[in-house]
Chains A and B, each alone.
Chain A
Amino acid sequence: MTHVILIVEDNERNLKLLRDVLEYAGYDVRAARTAEDGITLAVSEPPDLVLMDLQLPGIDGLEALRRLRASPRTAGIPVVAVTAQAMKHDRERALEAGFDGYVEKPISVRAFLDQVRRFLPGQEAEAQ
Chain B
Amino acid sequence: MVDRDKRKPAGHDPASNPGMTAGTGRLGDELAEVREQLAATSEVLAVIGRSAFDLEKILETVVESARRLCAADAGQVFLVDGDRYRFAYGSGMTAEYREFIANNPVVLDRGTLNGRVGLDRRATQITDVLADPDYSLADAQRMAGYRTVMGVPMLLDGDVVGMLSVWRTHVDPFSDRAVEVLTAFAAQAALAVRAVDLVRVLESRTGELRRKVTQLEALGAVGQAVSSSLNLTEVLNTIITQAVQMSGSDGGSIYEFDEDAREFRVETVCGTSPEAFDALRSARIALEDTFIGKAATLGRPLELTDLREAPLDPHLNALAESGWRSLVAVPMLREGRIVGAMVIRRHTPGRIPLEIYDLLETFASQSALALINAQLYRQLERQSAALAVASQHKSEFLASMSHELRTPLNAIIGFSEVLLERMFGELNERQDDYLRDIWSSGKHLLELLNDILDLSKIEAGQMVLSRSKFAVRESLDYCLSMVRERALQQRVLLSLDVDPEIGLLDADRLRFRQVVLNLLSNAVKFTPEGGRVDVRAFVRGQDLVVLVADTGVGVQAEDRERIFDSFQQGTHSSEQVEGTGLGLTLSKRILELHGGRIWVESEAGKGSTFGIALPAGSEEPAMEPAPQAGITLDPALGPRPTVVVVEDDRRSFDLLRVYLEAAGARVVSAGDGEEGLDTVRRLNPAGVVLDILLPGIDGWEVLAQLKADPGTAAIPVIVVSMLDERGRGFALGATEYLVKPVGKEQLLAALYRAAAMPEQKHMVVAIDDDPLAIELVRASLEPEGWTVLGAATGQEGLALIRERKPSAVLLDLLMPGMDGFEVVEALRADPDTKSVPVVILTSKSMTPQDKERLHGRITYVARKTEFDLSGLAGLLRWASTSRQSPVSESG
Chain A residues engaging chain B, CB cutoff 8 angstroms: 11, 13-14, 16-17, 20-21, 24, 55, 84-87, 90, 92, 95-96, 98-102, 104-111, 114, 118, 121, 124, 128
Asked whether, in the complex, the Cβ of A24 is within 8 Å of the Cβ of B424, the reply is yes
Asked whether, in the complex, the Cβ of A84 is within 8 Å of the Cβ of B406, the reply is yes
**Chain A residues with CB under 8 A of B409:** 105-106
Given contacts A55-B403, A95-B727, contact A110 B877 (CB under 8 A): yes
Residue B705, interface by CB 8 Å: no
Asked whether, in the complex, the Cβ of B418 is within 8 Å of the Cβ of A106, the reply is no
**In whole angstroms, what is the CA distance A48 to B579 when docked?**
43
**Chain A residues with CB under 8 A of B771:** none
**In whole angstroms, what is the CA distance A38 to B739 when docked?**
27
Which residue of chain B has its CB nearest to the CB of A99?
A: B727
Residue B726, interface by CB 8 Å: yes
Given contacts A86-B453, A87-B399, A106-B413, contact A17 B753 (CB under 8 A): no
**Chain B residues with CB under 8 A of A106:** 406, 409-410, 412-414, 442, 446
B259 to chain A, nearest CB (A): 45
Residue B263, interface by CB 8 Å: no
Residue B260, interface by CB 8 Å: no
Asked whether, in the complex, the Cβ of B423 is within 8 Å of the Cβ of A21, the reply is yes
0/1 per residue, B405-444, Cβ < 8 Å to A?
0111111111101100101100000000000000000100
Given A24-B423, A124-B745, 19 further pairs, Cβ under 8 A: A13-B410, A13-B411, A87-B453, A95-B730, A95-B731, A100-B727, A102-B730, A105-B410, A106-B406, A107-B410, A107-B413, A108-B413, A109-B418, A111-B753, A114-B749, A114-B753, A124-B746, A128-B881, A128-B882
**Chain A residues with CB under 8 A of B406:** 84, 86, 104-106
Asked whether, in the complex, the Cβ of B417 is within 8 Å of the Cβ of A11, the reply is no
**Chain A residues with CB under 8 A of B141:** none
**In whole angstroms, what is the CA distance A24 to B446 when docked?**
25
**Chain B residues with CB under 8 A of A11:** 407
A27 to chain B, nearest CB (A): 13
Asked whether, in the complex, the Cβ of A87 is within 8 Å of the Cβ of B402, the reply is yes
**Chain A residues with CB under 8 A of B418:** 17, 20-21, 24, 109
**In whole angstroms, what is the CA distance A49 to B20 when docked?**
147
**Chain B residues with CB under 8 A of A84:** 402-404, 406-407, 410
**In whole angstroms, what is the CA distance A44 to B876 when docked?**
41
Counting from the closest, the 10 A-B pairs by CB-CB distance are A84-B406, A106-B410, A95-B730, A105-B410, A109-B417, A13-B411, A17-B414, A106-B413, A106-B409, A84-B403
Choose among A16, A85, A101, A111 the residue that contacts B403 (Cβ–Cβ < 8 A): A85
Contacting A at CB under 8 A, from B457-476, are: none
**Chain A residues with CB under 8 A of B731:** 92, 95-96
Asked whether, in the complex, the Cβ of B424 is within 8 Å of the Cβ of A85, the reply is no
A10 to chain B, nearest CB (A): 10
The SS class assigned to the B binding surface is: helix
**Chain B residues with CB under 8 A of A110:** 417, 421, 877
**Chain A residues with CB under 8 A of B407:** 11, 14, 84, 105
**Chain A residues with CB under 8 A of B408:** 13
Given contacts A87-B399, A121-B739, contact A17 B410 (CB under 8 A): yes
**In whole angstroms, what is the CA distance A106 to B406 when docked?**
6
Given contacts A86-B403, A106-B446, contact A14 B727 (CB under 8 A): no
Asked whether, in the complex, the Cβ of B423 is within 8 Å of the Cβ of A14, the reply is no
0/1 per residue, B37-66, Cβ < 8 Å to A?
000000000000000000000000000000
**In whole angstroms, what is the CA distance A87 to B456 when docked?**
12
Which residue of chain B has its CB nearest to the CB of A54?
A: B403
Asked whether, in the complex, the Cβ of B727 is within 8 Å of the Cβ of A96, the reply is yes
**Chain B residues with CB under 8 A of A16:** 411
**In whole angstroms, what is the CA distance A93 to B412 when docked?**
27
- 6 residue pairs of the A-B complex, CB under 8 angstroms, read A13-B408, A13-B411, A20-B418, A85-B402, A105-B410, A107-B414
**In whole angstroms, what is the CA distance A114 to B762 when docked?**
14
Which of A17, A87, A108, A109 neighbours the largest number of chain B CB atoms within 10 Å of its CB?
A109
**Chain A residues with CB under 8 A of B413:** 106-108
Chain B residues engaging chain A, CB cutoff 8 angstroms: 399, 402-404, 406-415, 417-418, 421, 423-424, 442, 446, 453, 726-727, 730-731, 739, 745-746, 749, 753, 877, 881-882
**Chain A residues with CB under 8 A of B417:** 108-110
**Chain A residues with CB under 8 A of B877:** 110
Given contacts A11-B407, A84-B410, A85-B403, contact A109 B421 (CB under 8 A): yes
A81 to chain B, nearest CB (A): 11
A65 to chain B, nearest CB (A): 10
**In whole angstroms, what is the CA distance A121 to B740 when docked?**
10
B742 to chain A, nearest CB (A): 9
Which residue of chain B has its CB nearest to the CB of A17?
A: B414
Which residue of chain A has its CB nearest to the CB of B412?
A: A106
**In whole angstroms, what is the CA distance A11 to B403 when docked?**
12
**Chain B residues with CB under 8 A of A14:** 407, 410-411, 414
Asked whether, in the complex, the Cβ of A17 is within 8 Å of the Cβ of B415, the reply is yes
**Chain B residues with CB under 8 A of A104:** 406
**In whole angstroms, what is the CA distance A105 to B409 when docked?**
8
**Chain A residues with CB under 8 A of B446:** 106
**In whole angstroms, what is the CA distance A92 to B730 when docked?**
8
Which residue of chain A has its CB nearest to the CB of B457?
A: A88
**In whole angstroms, what is the CA distance A74 to B406 when docked?**
30
**In whole angstroms, what is the CA distance A110 to B749 when docked?**
13
**Chain A residues with CB under 8 A of B399:** 85, 87, 90
Which residue of chain B has its CB nearest to the CB of A92?
A: B731
**Chain B residues with CB under 8 A of A111:** 753
A104 to chain B, nearest CB (A): 8
Asked whether, in the complex, the Cβ of A17 is within 8 Å of the Cβ of B411, the reply is yes
Which of A14, A84, A111 neighbours the largest number of chain B CB atoms within 10 Å of its CB?
A84
**Chain A residues with CB under 8 A of B453:** 86-87
Which residue of chain A has its CB nearest to the CB of B411?
A: A13
Which residue of chain A has its CB nearest to the CB of B730?
A: A95
B425 to chain A, nearest CB (A): 11
Which residue of chain B has its CB nearest to the CB of A87?
A: B399
Which residue of chain A has its CB nearest to the CB of B877?
A: A110
Asked whether, in the complex, the Cβ of B402 is within 8 Å of the Cβ of A86, the reply is yes
**In whole angstroms, what is the CA distance A25 to B418 when docked?**
11
Which residue of chain B has its CB nearest to the CB of A105?
A: B410
Which residue of chain A has its CB nearest to the CB of B727?
A: A98
**In whole angstroms, what is the CA distance A67 to B412 when docked?**
32
B392 to chain A, nearest CB (A): 14
**Chain B residues with CB under 8 A of A90:** 399
**In whole angstroms, what is the CA distance A24 to B745 when docked?**
22
Which residue of chain A has its CB nearest to the CB of B734?
A: A95
Choose among B402, B424, B726, B882 the residue that contacts A100 (Cβ–Cβ < 8 A): B726
**Chain A residues with CB under 8 A of B424:** 24
B737 to chain A, nearest CB (A): 9
**In whole angstroms, what is the CA distance A79 to B450 when docked?**
26
**Chain A residues with CB under 8 A of B412:** 106
Which residue of chain A has its CB nearest to the CB of B726?
A: A100
**Chain B residues with CB under 8 A of A98:** 727
Which residue of chain B has its CB nearest to the CB of A89?
A: B399
**Chain B residues with CB under 8 A of A92:** 731
A107 to chain B, nearest CB (A): 6
**In whole angstroms, what is the CA distance A101 to B365 when docked?**
65
Which residue of chain B has its CB nearest to the CB of A18?
A: B414
**In whole angstroms, what is the CA distance A48 to B370 when docked?**
69
**In whole angstroms, what is the CA distance A84 to B402 when docked?**
8
**In whole angstroms, what is the CA distance A97 to B366 when docked?**
56
Which residue of chain B has its CB nearest to the CB of A119?
A: B726
**Chain B residues with CB under 8 A of A24:** 418, 423-424
**Chain A residues with CB under 8 A of B411:** 13-14, 16-17
A103 to chain B, nearest CB (A): 10
B93 to chain A, nearest CB (A): 105
Which residue of chain A has its CB nearest to the CB of B738?
A: A118
A50 to chain B, nearest CB (A): 14
**In whole angstroms, what is the CA distance A101 to B736 when docked?**
10
B89 to chain A, nearest CB (A): 95
**Chain B residues with CB under 8 A of A108:** 413, 417
Which residue of chain B has its CB nearest to the CB of A122?
A: B743
**Chain B residues with CB under 8 A of A99:** 727
